[in-house]
């Protein structure tokens, strides 16, 4: 699994109240849900919904990104050079 990045959000009091209620719903005898657990669940379920809703456009963008990655020029083709790389001797 990739390293996790931190994200901060500002939410209005009514939204925070809704999340706190969900926190109680998602807590079990073995694990008390945190705000992060609830936000993660909300984001992931929302992502699935949005991806389904915008599936054709999403597929188009993914194809374009994959094509851009394949065409990215390397150092031998005029692309960026890693200045920290070891220089060949000789």
What pLDDT was estimated at residue 40? Answer: 93
Angle at 14 between CA 13 and CA 16, to 5 degrees: 60
Query: What are the extents of the domains in the chain?
Result: 13-71
What pLDDT was estimated at residue 2? Answer: 60
The per-residue pLDDT for range 56-67, each reduced to its tens digit, is 999 999 999 888
Counting as low any pLDDT under 50, the low residues of the chain are 1
What pLDDT was estimated at residue 82? Answer: 64
């Amino acid at each position: 699994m990739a390293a996790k990045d931190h994200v901060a959000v500002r939410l209005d009091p009514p939204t925070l109240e809704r999340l706190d209620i969900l926190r109680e719903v998602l807590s079990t005898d073995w694990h008390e849900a945190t705000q992060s657990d609830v936000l993660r669940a909300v984001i992931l379920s929302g992502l699935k919904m949005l991806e389904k809703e915008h599936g054709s456009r999403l597929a188009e963008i993914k194809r374009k990104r994959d094509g851009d990655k394949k065409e990215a020029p390397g150092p031998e083709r005029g692309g960026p050079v890693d200045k920290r790389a070891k220089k060949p001797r000789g």
